[in-house]
Amino acid sequence: MQGAPYLVSYPGMIKLVLGDITVQKVDAIVNAANSGLLGGGGVDGAIHDAAGPGLLEECRTLGGCETGGAKATSGYGLPAKWVFHAVGPIWKGGGHREDELLASCYQRCLALAVEKDARSVAFPAISTGIYRFPVGRAAAIAVREVKAFLQGHPDREVLFVCFDKGTLAAYQTLL
């Protein structure tokens, strides 16, 4: 289900991909983790399965992460050199700072990309699975934060990796 990416040249580059984030050949992939950082379902489980046990071992040393934050580990068996573990908000109707906390995840991951000199970063649609954040609303926040970042970092490349066609359509509408 790996389609040809849909490209948007902004300053920098945004790529929209339908597929599995674990196979992306980028410097860093983002994990939609939970606050324990000890693995879970969805994309978190897929990333841990593909990376191998070393990833969980390193995650155990991190002491968890607050909602809206992100922490970096190595990529182990993944093609990516880094994994940025971001903890998105659980959707509770929109009145619990969900938008702000989701924006913070993108900002923290993009700051980690600068810190680690990751030139290309792939994001899943954080919080839109088990955490039930509405996809269109989450995609709008993701696109807004990434475009703002690329203005100041035109040498970078960001991929939005969509696992299903509904998510892809939400990003396509925005891009």
Site string for ligand ADP, 84-113 (x = CB under 6 A): ----x-------------------------
CB 127, CB 68: distance < 8 Å? no
Amino acid at 172: Q
Q: Which of 96, 33, 125 is nearest to 70 (CA)?
A: 33
Dist. CA 8–CA 95, nearest whole Å: 32
Q: How far is CA 112 from CA 45, 73, 171, in A?
A: 22, 11, 23
Q: Which of 5-13, 19-27, 65-73, 106-114 is the region at the interface with ligand ADP (rule: CB under 6 A)?
A: 19-27
Residue in 8, 16, 26, 44 binding ligand ADP, rule: CB under 6 A: 44
42: contact with ligand ADP by CB under 6 A: yes
Minimum distance from CB of 114 to ligand ADP (Å)? Answer: 23
Residues belonging to the chain = 175
Active site residues: 44
Paired residues of 157 in beta bridges? 13, 120
139: contact with ligand ADP by CB under 6 A: no
Which residue's CB is nearer to ligand ADP, number 133 or number 149? 133
Instruction: List contacts with ligand ADP (CB under 6 A).
Output: 20-22, 32, 42-44, 46, 88, 124-131, 161, 163-164, 167
